[in-house]
């Protein structure tokens, strides 16, 4: 999970190069109003350690950022799946750190893919009425889980958990969305090679 001064979110290690690890998270976790945060720390809950990391790249249209941390601590690297193979009704497993970073580090929730490719017109700070593609899931995502991984039952990373639609007046709940991993691969192909 990632920590910044005002808030926190989650992330997924997707590449190792010597002692450098590359982590995917949401842009909104590490960028506020187009200002990149400079004091970003990676929290390793299993050994209760904070490590400084830096933003390598982020995309304004898609809520995704790539970070790098250098450490001799051996970190697990996620296997990347293929989000184009997703089908409605398949199981989906979300991992993130909701509510309290240290108390609920690496919480797991299980649900289903509601739609493998949902095009949504949304208000975006940078572009009005921006249409983005998401995986819609009923797997629970709470505050702090943004940037965490969405996995299939084979343990492959299929998406990055991003946001939820909730409206108590309209009785809307359990509509959650993740950026497809294929889109992430396309955005950062230069870095992930």
CA distance 151 to 135: 12
**Active-site annotation holds for 28:** yes
The strand pairing partners of 161, in sequence order, are 178
Residue 147, Ramachandran bin (φ over 0: left; ψ between -120 and 50: alpha; else beta): left
> Would residue 63 show up in a list of annotated catalytic residues for this protein?
yes
Buried b (16+ CB within 10 A) or exposed e, 122-149: eeeeeeeeeebbbbbbebbbbebbbbbb
Burial class of residue 186 (count of CB atoms within 10 Å of its CB; 0-12, 13-18, 19+):
exposed
Query: Does 100 qualify as catalytic in the annotation?
Result: no
**Beta strand pairing status for 79-80 and 156-167?**
parallel
Residues 6+ apart with CB under 8 A from 71: 19, 21, 51
Active-site option among 10, 28, 97, 114: 28
Q: State the catalytic residue, choosing from 46, 103, 146, 168.
A: 146
Of 63, 83, 97, 114, which one is the catalytic site residue? 63
Label the pairing between strands 130-137 and 149-151. Answer: unpaired
What residues are annotated to the active site? 28, 63, 146
């Amino acid at each position: 999970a990632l920590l910044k001064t005002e808030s926190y979110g989650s992330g997924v290690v997707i590449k190792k190069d010597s002692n450098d690890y590359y982590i995917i998270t949401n842009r909104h976790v590490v960028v506020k109003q187009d200002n990149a945060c400079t004091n970003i720390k990676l929290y390793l809950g299993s050994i209760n350690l904070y490590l400084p990391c830096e933003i390598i790249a982020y995309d304004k249209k898609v809520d995704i950022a790539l970070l790098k941390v250098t450490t001799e601590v051996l970190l697990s690297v996620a296997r990347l799946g293929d989000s184009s193979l997703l089908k409605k009704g398949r199981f989906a497993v979300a991992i993130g750190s909701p509510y309290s970073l240290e108390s609920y580090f690496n919480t797991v929730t299980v649900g289903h893919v509601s739609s493998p490719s949902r095009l949504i017109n949304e208000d975006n700070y940078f572009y009005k009425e921006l249409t983005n593609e998401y995986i819609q899931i009923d797997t629970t995502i709470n505050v702090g889980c943004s940037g965490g991984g969405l996995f299939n039952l084979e343990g492959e990373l299929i998406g990055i958990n991003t946001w939820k639609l909730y409206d108590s007046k309209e009785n809307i709940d359990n509509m959650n969305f993740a950026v497809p991993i294929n889109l992430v691969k396309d955005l950062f192909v230069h870095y992930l090679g």
